[in-house]
Amino acid sequence: MLVTGLALGAVLGYVMQRGRFCVTGFLRDIFTQRSWRGFVALLIVISVHAVGLAALTSGGVITPEYDNLTPIAVIVGGLVFGIGIVLAGGCASGTWYRSGEGLIGSWIALVFYGLSAAAMKTGVLSGVNEALKSQTVELTSIHASLGISVWPLAIALSALTAFLAVRFLREEFSGPKPAKLAARKSGIAHILAEKPWHVYSTAVAVGVLGVIAWPLSAATGRNDGLGITTPSSNLTNFIVNGDTAKFDWGVLLVLGILLGSFVAAKASGEFRLRVPDATQGARSVVGGIFMGVGAAWAGGCTVGNGMVQTSLFSYQGWLALVAIAAGVGIAAKVWLKPSAAPAAAPSAPLADATTAPVAPVDAVAAPEGTNAAGFAIAPVALLDRAVVKQDKGKLVDLGSGRYELDTVGAVCPFPLIEAKEAIGKIEVGEELVIPFDCTQATDAIPRWAAKDGHEVTSFEQTDEAGWIISVKRGK
């Protein structure tokens, strides 16, 4: 039965990759874009979970356990975890599936996430973990405190979620349509392995898979559903100590996420080994450590707490989700800003830059290479070309009112953040040409352009996990 963990994880990884499903992005957008659209996707997962788990519990199929609330550990852990996922560029499940897309920064974050979680749960830091979690209050779940069944809460949350989802869908379908990449496949292949899935349909699928996960996991003696932190810790213990008892259904689940994401990314032409620059590499290390420590203190990550415990209406789940969101907000304010423009080199006067030959648009895509295994490799984005106008920041003049903003190598959400800043530095009617290799930006940038009234004049995939989009400023 352990193999069902691998199978379900592979499906989950495939679904998350095709739907660009990222809880970090959902929470981050609240603070950086004042948008609650993504958060509603998280509510959809929780609502589907809530109804499904309530049904399984009522039928005696599963027996969820509720622990007393450890408020200090949950709040502190949630804040630390929220800061960590912004630094790492993805939450626990997001880091696993983005590793399958070839993001080496995510690989780095995963290593330090697993190591720090293992240290907190079973290693040298376990005493620190236990000390903070020793402060408890006798609160388990909301419905237990109210003395009612879980069903009224599940139905009420589902009704609220449906109302919000319909509202956002109406706005989406009645407003300007974001530009789409031209189809290169047809029929079912286009739908399954090329066309990005809508975030709300993806959320429904994630919720259903979460419901299925619990009885499959329980059949192996693991009384839990989806989870990332403890399985990541167990995998680390298995690799380091050879402890076969740790190699359980949850470990196969996270390995399945990695496998399913890789298959989806290869099938859609979105896999490429992408090397982070020094800054992002360091952030991945710190972010991974913060994720492991924070999730251990809080009793779970954005999956264990933010999807599962919330659907069980435990105090721990909802308090942790609020604390994680607060951590994301703090980190977004501190770190999610457009990078500063590089200073002009003293030996390259401005006049020389303005008269230098201009490369055509096709030539500005990221140079390609391959490794010994035949996988395409994206270079680190070194923005070392001459800056034409210092007041235009990173923009390079392509001539005829067209400017290039090279974001190749930048992780989500920096391509969008820098595009929003750069569009304000050019005149109405001028074009911003943006090469990028961030998978999530294939949806984020066109959606922003449509919402803000800018025209996408071209949008194409240039290579494996490489795209160029041209945006004409509309206002």
> How is the beta sheet containing 455-463 ordered, strand by strand?
396-399, 402-404, 431-436, 466-472, 455-463
Peptide bond into 413 cis (omega under 30): yes
Angle at 386 between CA 385 and CA 392, to 5 degrees: 110
Query: Using an 8 Å Cβ cutoff, are 210 and 93 in contact?
Result: no
CA distances from 173 to 36, 445, 447 (A): 16, 17, 12
Which residue in the list 22, 91, 301, 412 is annotated as catalytic?
412
CA distances from 372 to 258, 267, 376, 451 (A): 21, 20, 10, 43
The Cα–Cα gap between 171 and 165 comes to 10
The Cα–Cα gap between 309 and 317 comes to 4
Look at the alpha carbons of 382, 87, 48, 35 in this order and tell me if their dihedral is positive or negative: negative
Q: For 270-327, give the DSSP string.
A: ---EE---HHHHHHHHHHHHHHHHHHHHHTS-TTIIIIIIHHTTBHHHHHHHHHHHHH
Query: Using an 8 Å Cβ cutoff, are 456 and 429 in contact?
Result: no
How many other C-beta atoms are found inside a 10 Å radius of the C-beta of residue 30?
A: 17
Give the residue among 15, 2, 440 at the shortest CA–CA distance from 259. Answer: 15
438 catalytic? Reply is no
Q: Annotated catalytic sites, by residue?
A: 412
